[in-house]
Chains A and B, each alone.
Chain A
Amino acid sequence: DAGVTQSPTHLIKTRGQQVTLRCSPKSGHDTVSWYQQALGQGPQFIFQYYEEEERQRGNFPDRFSGHQFPNYSSELNVNALLLGDSALYLCASRDARGGYTFGSGTRLTVV
């Protein structure tokens, strides 16, 4: 069981650019949540996807958007990148009964 896999592991982007991060949930999991972990902070909830729809959203601007595909994999898109978007982006998945399993994250650096 591969668990939750995220790609890429590291990424460097320039201010103003757009980025897409990818997540493959654990086998059998249909719900995917995305979190942003800034340096020295705990993970902060961005949004959750279930049945290809955004079901909940945290306090993040519209520059942050996502998508879930029929195979339950998910993407996080961030437009017009700011320096403050530099963080570790974590994807977590679960099934209807269980708790969340987290991936190792994508480290995004905006320069």
Chain B
Amino acid sequence: DQQVKQNSPSLSVQEGRISILNCDYTNSMFDYFLWYKKYPAEGPTFLISISSIKDKNEDGRFTVFLNKSAKHLSLHIVPSQPGDSAVYFCAASDSRDDKIIFGKGTRLHILP
């Protein structure tokens, strides 16, 4: 039972263009959503988050959008840079407990 779904295993984007990573969730009790970035041989690194009371959160080149009615969120990276090549995990949590539920990840390749 996959509560957080990332349906694109990989994505290739030209350097300088916008990268859009998508994520769907099924549990309506999730009220906090996170994106993590992972390089090989390293642990996941927190990137950006959004509370369910918001529909957008922006931090530099990274923006996360939340559509609660569709149970969908997306991460926009603009402009994309070579160092953005990594695996991106969408994750969600319910404030009633402390565990984070992760998607399977999307591998982003930024092409020169």
User: What is A's interface to B at a CB cutoff of 8 Å?
Assistant: 4, 31, 33, 35, 40-45, 48, 55-56, 58, 90, 92, 99-105
Whether the Cβ atoms of A99 and B99 lie closer than 8 Å is no
Q: B100 contacts which chain A residues (CB < 8 A)? A: 33, 43, 45, 100
Q: A43 contacts which chain B residues (CB < 8 A)? A: 44, 89, 100, 102
Whether the Cβ atoms of B43 and A42 lie closer than 8 Å is no
Whether the Cβ atoms of B104 and A56 lie closer than 8 Å is no
Whether the Cβ atoms of A104 and B105 lie closer than 8 Å is no
Interface size for chain B: under 10, 10 to 19, 20 to 34, or 35 or more residues?
A: 20 to 34
Whether the Cβ atoms of B102 and A104 lie closer than 8 Å is no
CA distance A42 to B46 in the complex (A): 14
CA distance A99 to B97 in the complex (A): 13
Whether the Cβ atoms of A48 and B99 lie closer than 8 Å is yes
**In the complex, which residue of chain B has the Cβ closest to the Cβ of A102?**
B43
Q: CB within 8 Å of A: which of B17-69?
A: 34, 36, 41-46, 49
Whether the Cβ atoms of B46 and A56 lie closer than 8 Å is no
